[in-house]
Structure 1
Amino acid sequence: MRNVHLDPAMPPEGTDPRQYARMLARAHEAVLSGEQPPMPPRPVILQSWERVVCTGVDPDTGSDAGALSPEEVEQHRRACGLGDALETLRGGLLSIADAAWHILVIADSEGRVLWRGGSKAVLAKAQTLGFVEGASWSESAVGTNAIGTALVARRPVQIHSAEHFVRTHHTWTCAAAPIRGPRDGRLLGVVDVSGPAMTAHPSTLALVDAVSKLAEAQLRTAHLGDLEKLRAVAAPVLARVAGRAVVTDRHGWVAAVSGVAPIDRLLLPGTVRDGEAWLPSLGRCAVEPLPGGWLLRVREEDVPGPTRIVLDVRRPRQASLTVEGPSGTWTHGLSPRHAELLFVLAEHPSGRTAAELADDLFGDGSRTVTVRAEVSRLRRQLAGLLQHRPYRFADGVDVEVVRPDAPSALLPHSTAPAICRLRRAAMDDPTEFLTRAGQ
């Protein structure tokens, strides 16, 4: 269960909402003109505006990304992974949105609107803005908005009035929260409640966040049920296996082991096939398919360790780690926190103490217990790749970082002080950043 500080976009207590909207509009115009705004926007808004300016979105009309056809929308609905949570999302918000003159919108991980419902009058107004099923509501399509910005920031976001980048959206208020899948932690989509700016309420963001958590819990229950079915299949299989073996689902969650220390999850290559695979924590394994997962038989011969690591952070939502060595190549996606941690270690090849990492990630050097727990999880998954005292990449392993072309796209979801400092320094002086991005 995630623990997120909510930052609703509401007028300060005692401020007239209309006056506040005008202040936001003046800040919006000043930033777009390259001037100092009279009232600085919230950090999440300013960071989003900076990203959107780099993408070339028209502040008057947005960009036309093209809507999906009804057939394509149906395909995206089946593939998005939100099916098991749909009734929870609708049941928790649809009637409330309708009564409050709002609409409920569910979008996929690319910001494509897949479901809408709620007030008929507001749905009609949304139609005039192209806020329809199949439309893209990503930042690169329509600028700063709750759906697109929540996908980038990876946390609940409320966008009010002129905090929207496109001027035609300034009469709207929107609150959205991301939904993560329990199997691999990836973003499955976003739940959003939108309506006229005059109907904004401070509780809307908290409500949307609570319902998104309920949806994630529903998905987690479905995942555990699938894992239990795989466990029943694994028991008789492992009883006949000689030597060390592990049974995992398609995402590396462990259902059963034989001769191997218990672990919740193994990091699997991005693509697993029947045959052989090399895993950092087990070495070379024979891979056999099972209904809903894999049987991994550990090869007992000594295998040389990795020689090169590539940390790829070019795509904000798809950071990955590639490990190369004599025994093969292995690639796996990284969670936002693990991407931050590994990036910081790559920036400090001589290593970081627990206190230094705590300051890098949280701005609080006393949070060493949290850091040690996080690094311990990574070291179990990346056996032989990380060392401690201090924490660093293994000696003798070449580490390469592949960066995005634009400094604003460097782990844009991250609020870690070390990442924010690097991002800001790169935006102030992009020469070195661009040179290193071409690695």
Structure 2
Amino acid sequence: MPVGTDPRRHARVLAQVHEAALTGASPCAQPRPVIGASWQRMRRLGLDPDHGADGLLLSHAELEARRRESGLADALPILRGGLISVAEEAAHIMVVVDREGSVLWRDGSTSVRHRADRLGFTEGASWHENNVGTNAIGTALVARRAMQVYSAEHYVRSHHAWTCAAAPLHDPRDGRLLGVVDLSGPAPTVHATTLALVDAVAKLAEARLRNTHLAELEKLRSTTLTVLSRVGGRALITDPHGWVAAASGLGAIDRVGLPSSTSAGSAWLPSLGACHLEPVPGGWLVRLTDDEAVPGESMRAVLDIRSSPACVLTVTGPSGTWSYPLSPRHAEMLYVLASHRDGRSAAQLALDLFGDPARTVTVRAEMSRLRRQLGTILSRRPYRFADDIDVALRKPDSAELVLPHSTAPAIRGT
């Protein structure tokens, strides 16, 4: 909600806009673009604007399993420390969901929790857009950015009495979306600073996860340096995600792309070439070999963007198959390159992504990061997939569902 706006008047205008959108009448104003796009998704889905869709409630055992698997447990102390006191004082609840939208934890105001119970907003419930329509949690999972949804911006009418602010949480090891943290409460309690607070606490929680990961890398380094010292030639130690704990005979490398199903033996890694992998406690010993053969013909790259939270590039070649999870920005860049096999210059990519051909510094920096991970999969001058690689693009049937978080002109057609 814009700063300085009267909440009650704004809620009345939103209600009129919502009704017009559902009935096809001429609206008195337009919803925010991110809200309008979400409403369009809900109409295509055929979601009931009065009741939403029935969703299965996770059993206690399923809920506990989701909590363990979510990767969010280490972030809870920061989230609770930063938001619970605010939630209780401001008549809100703090909610943490996983990447699928399932509510894992809920704390805060007792009275608001009772109101949430009547709405089905409980632990184990799904708060994905497909089940409850446009809302800060579900829409943040799709848009991949912090979201505040107020009153009639919610697609389902029974949610119009609520205000919600949510921010995504990412795994620092691979950029994977872990879930969302949210503050929700009665619509009259809306405040312009709530979204900034939630986003700031989410970033603190991600920093906590990053520090935990760095501590794990340091432990791996200390326990495997003896192993590395006995290896002749070029070698490195990585954790299961490819982050480098220690290296010998190589320049500075932060991370290497490991095969999707890592196993001991020979492998070809995009940033290193031919290697031999051996398991060590907590990770892998990667030894570069003298084999000069570089997979070329018979290599196939599949860019799968059918699931916005889990875009991935999978490459199959003579040495097997490996996958690289993509950040939102890298998914956009590879989508453009897959759509333009003849390649794009830095200025063209800047125009494709930002609508500004002058932003070449940003483009070159991001492409440098990508090429460090993907090696000879990508070529430059112009930027493109290597000519000897067969590229397949798997995307949603509807253009609106192609990277729905993106505002890039090349993707949104603007």
Matches within 5 A, 1:37-436: 37-306=27-296, 307-421=299-413
- CA drift at 1:284: 3.1
CA contact (8 A) 2:266 2:319 kept: no
Q: Secondary structure of the equivalent of 1:384?
A: helix
- CA drift at 1:37: 2.4
- CA drift at 1:230: 0.7
Structure 2 counterpart of 1:172, one-letter code: W
The 3 A distance-change label for structure 1 pair 230 and 410 is same
- CA drift at 1:33: 2.5
Cα distance in 2, alignment partners of residues 302 and 36 from structure 1? 66
Greater shift, 114-123 or 17-26, is seen at 17-26
Corresponding position of 1:19: 9
Q: Deviations over 1:84-133 (max 9, x none)?
A: 11111001010111111111111111111111111111110000000000
Structure 2 counterpart of 1:326, one-letter code: P
Cα distance in 1, alignment partners of residues 401 and 266 from structure 2? 36
Q: Secondary structure of the equivalent of 2:164?
A: strand
Cα distance in 2, alignment partners of residues 288 and 157 from structure 1? 44
- CA drift at 1:303: 2.0
Q: Deviations over 1:400-425 (max 9, x none)?
A: 1111122222111112121111xx8x
- 1:34 is aligned, of 24, 45, 53, to 24
CA contact (8 A) 1:245 1:295 kept: yes
Equivalences, count: 412
Over aligned residue pairs, what C-alpha RMSD do you find?
Answer: 1.5
Q: Secondary structure of the equivalent of 1:364?
A: coil
Q: Deviations over 1:258-297 (max 9, x none)?
A: 2222211111222212333321112232221122111112
Structure 2 counterpart of 1:329, one-letter code: T
Structure 2 counterpart of 1:363, one-letter code: G
CA contact (8 A) 1:305 1:384 kept: no
CA contact (8 A) 1:89 1:212 kept: yes
Structure 2 counterpart of 1:195, one-letter code: G
Greater shift, 100-109 or 397-406, is seen at 397-406
Q: Secondary structure of the equivalent of 2:376?
A: coil
Cα distance in 1, alignment partners of residues 304 and 227 from structure 2? 37
CA contact (8 A) 2:98 2:104 kept: yes
Greater shift, 245-254 or 322-331, is seen at 322-331
Cα distance in 1, alignment partners of residues 53 and 266 from structure 2? 46
Cα distance in 1, alignment partners of residues 167 and 293 from structure 2? 44
- CA drift at 1:36: 4.0
Structure 2 counterpart of 1:333, one-letter code: P
Q: Secondary structure of the equivalent of 2:8?
A: helix
The 3 A distance-change label for structure 1 pair 36 and 253 is farther
Q: % of aligned pairs identical?
A: 61
- CA drift at 1:12: 6.2
Q: Secondary structure of the equivalent of 2:258?
A: coil
Cα distance in 1, alignment partners of residues 24 and 120 from structure 2? 29
Q: Secondary structure of the equivalent of 1:222?
A: helix
Cα distance in 1, alignment partners of residues 389 and 108 from structure 2? 55
Structure 1 counterpart of 2:73, one-letter code: G
CA contact (8 A) 1:278 1:330 kept: no
In structure 1, the gaps of 5 or more residues are 1-9, 425-439
Q: Secondary structure of the equivalent of 1:263?
A: coil
Structure 1 counterpart of 2:275, one-letter code: C
If the length of structure 1 is used for normalisation, what is the TM-score?
0.91
CA contact (8 A) 1:304 1:326 kept: no
The 3 A distance-change label for structure 1 pair 299 and 85 is same
Cα distance in 1, alignment partners of residues 29 and 76 from structure 2? 40
Q: Secondary structure of the equivalent of 2:310?
A: coil
Cα distance in 1, alignment partners of residues 391 and 96 from structure 2? 39
Structure 1 counterpart of 2:377, one-letter code: L
Cα distance in 1, alignment partners of residues 352 and 85 from structure 2? 43
Q: Deviations over 1:198-225 (max 9, x none)?
A: 1100000000001001101111111100
Cα distance in 1, alignment partners of residues 62 and 343 from structure 2? 48
In structure 2, the gaps of 5 or more residues are none
Cα distance in 2, alignment partners of residues 38 and 12 from structure 1? 21
Greater shift, 172-181 or 314-323, is seen at 314-323
Greater shift, 368-377 or 404-413, is seen at 404-413
Q: Deviations over 1:332-373 (max 9, x none)?
A: 221111110011111122221111111211222221111111
If the length of structure 2 is used for normalisation, what is the TM-score?
0.96
- CA drift at 1:382: 1.2
CA contact (8 A) 2:82 2:201 kept: yes
